[in-house]
Amino acid sequence: MEQELHPFAKFIAILARGKTKTRSFTLEESREAMAMILRGEARPEQIGAFLMLLRLKEETPEEIAGFTLGTRDTFDLPDDLPEINLDWSSYAGKRRQLPWFILSVLLLAQNGTRVLMHGTGGHTPGRMYTRETLQKLGFPIARSFEAAAADIRSSNFAYIPLEVMSPKLRELIEMRPLFGLRSPVHSFARMLNPFNAPVMMQGIFHRGFMDVHAGAGLLLEQPVTTVFRGEGGEIERRPNKPTVAWTAANGEIDSETWPQILSDGHAAADESMDINHLVAVWRGEDASEYAEASVTGTLAIALKSLGKADSHKAAQAMAQEMWDNRDKGSLPVAA
């Protein structure tokens, strides 16, 4: 007697029919598949096959957008969400340089920009993750969407972990050691934008994904999506190299090259990765040309994406002014 196919089996079949019949998912197929996974309607072996077949094929903008929508469909958001300006994802972690972008975000919040940051940590050994860093610096970690909303209202900034937004997605990211490879979850988690910010920043490591993320931004009808290859895969400009940023807005994708800030094209790895150095630089107790250029350079891209500056030069000047006038005593506690 022939057994009835599992409802999720159709998605495996689409990906594994062979060279001539295999195809990518449509946006709606991707949305349905991810929603089924997150609702617990797919078996573990199906999920493993699904993720690795996608990894082999490589994701399309339609798939990234569909997975994002399927995840958003499972969110249980409060009715009275605060209006925010910028969604900032942080999933990669740092291993060569301190997370200077955190200071860029702090400057934005100090100057009235509401920023929601989301991410996860611990899935790749040897990296410094944003969640743990923020905890050491004394920032609260939101344990619910409601808590994140309260943090935004009180300080213009909130950090919400992936396991709070979607415990199942956190489980999938933690499967990386089992596969030895990243999965599509690492790509689309960056685009979840749970509070629907009009501007979404994306930091990636592999150049080939810039057009994928920008294209997904258009499909999601995101007003502004800015994507660039950041230091360690985070949203952090590398000041010793030119930075190519792709922006999806108004139904179009454009790219622009931000100039190198520092003359030295080589940046040595930070061997100590001491978070106290980050605190000292913020407080003006220590100086670092690389750190200041990284903070202001990253901030400049954010300011232009937010529409607060209309040129590289104006954005960089505004960022430098924010840095020079920062509240040096505003970090909650020393590391």
Helices and strands in the chain, H and E counts = 15, 7
Among 205-209, 231-235, 240-244, the least confident range: 205-209
Whether residue 113 sits in one domain with residue 54: no
Mean per-residue pLDDT of the chain? 92
Whether residue 162 sits in one domain with residue 15: no
Count Cβ atoms below 10 Å from residue 5 Cβ, excluding itself.
10
Confidence of residue 2 (pLDDT cuts 50, 70, 90): low
Is 133 inside any structural domain?
Answer: yes
Pick the closest to residue 113 from 297, 318, 324, 328 (CA basis). 318
CA dihedral 72, 77, 80, 86 (to 10 degrees): -50
Q: Residue 268 and residue 149: Cα distance in Å, rounded?
A: 39
Task: Please report where in the chains the tokens 């396991």 appear, as a residue.
Answer: 163
Contact status, residue 116 vs residue 81, Cβ threshold 8 Å: no
Q: What is the pTM of this model?
A: 0.94
Which 8-state DSSP code applies to residue 82? P
Q: Residue 33 and residue 42: Cα distance in Å, rounded?
A: 9
Whether residue 303 sits in one domain with residue 176: yes
Contact status, residue 279 vs residue 137, Cβ threshold 8 Å: yes
Is 330 inside any structural domain?
Answer: no
Q: What is the pLDDT of residue 326?
A: 97
Domain limits for position 221: 86-324
pLDDT at residue 1 greater than cutoff 60: no
Q: Alpha carbon 63 to chain centroid distance?
A: 17
Q: What is the pLDDT of residue 181?
A: 67
Domain count, the chain: 2
Q: Residue 253 and residue 211: Cα distance in Å, rounded?
A: 8
Q: Residue 278 and residue 129: Cα distance in Å, rounded?
A: 14
Count Cβ atoms below 10 Å from residue 71 Cβ, excluding itself.
24
Whether residue 103 sits in one domain with residue 237: yes
**pLDDT tens digits, 162-202:** 999 999 999 998 887 777 767 788 889 999 999 999 999 99
Is 329 inside any structural domain?
Answer: no
Whether residue 112 sits in one domain with residue 27: no
pLDDT at residue 269 greater than cutoff 90: no
**pLDDT tens digits, 238-266:** 999 999 999 999 999 999 999 999 987 67
Percent of the chain clearing pLDDT 70 (strictly above): 96
Task: Please report where in the chains the tokens 């950090």 appear, as a residue.
Answer: 159
Q: Residue 314 and residue 311: Cα distance in Å, rounded?
A: 5
Pick the closest to residue 269 from 93, 91, 92, 95 (CA basis). 95
Confidence of residue 335 (pLDDT cuts 50, 70, 90): very low
Contact status, residue 169 vs residue 38, Cβ threshold 8 Å: yes
